[in-house]
Amino acid sequence: MKEGNVKNNRLDNIFKDLNSTDKTKITTAIKQLRKHGNAKAIEPLFDKYISSENEIIKEDISSLLFDLKDESVVAEIIRLMSKTKFETIKPFIISILWQAAIDSSNFISDLVKEAIKGDYMTCIEVLTVIESYDSSFNEEEIEDLKFDLDEAIDEADVEKQKLLITIKSVLEELNIEY
């Protein structure tokens, strides 16, 4: 059997256990994903996080996601962040980016847009992520984001306004490529 088929079969079995109602199987599946998981595991983990009422399972999932080191998962996290079914955990999803210290700077526009349309907690998490950036950014992209923030600041409630203003000031301090 080819190695790719073995890996896919292993992942399929892990996902089956993750979707089980047996807490032991679920916990084992989460541990197995630490060893054998990849970007395909992110969505099933988010699904289980939402559907589970067991705090230990949620803590195990959080711990796994906060320990991610493979930056190839960033694009998947950003994609899933925008899905309606994950709206209730959007701040948690964004927090993974800074908790795991994985570089999401290529997705700064997506994150700022989420802050603009999101709630207070989403703004806080986006601010935390952006504050951690140590990259250089395209001047035009940052100027466009600051313009978008200016428009959003005028329309936001007082508390969110303060956060959006802070995000804008952080953008102004980023390294710019001219």
Question: Of all helices (H) and strands (E), which one includes residue 84?
Answer: none
pLDDT at residue 18, rounded to an integer = 97
Strands (E), the chain: 136-138, 175-177
Q: What percent of the chain has pLDDT over 90?
A: 93
**Residue (of 69, 63, 65) closest to 44 by Cα position:** 65
Q: What is the pLDDT of residues 107-155, one digit of tens each?
A: 999 999 999 999 999 999 999 999 999 999 999 999 999 999 999 999 9
Work out the average pLDDT over 43-62: 98
One-letter amino acid for residue 172 of the chain = E
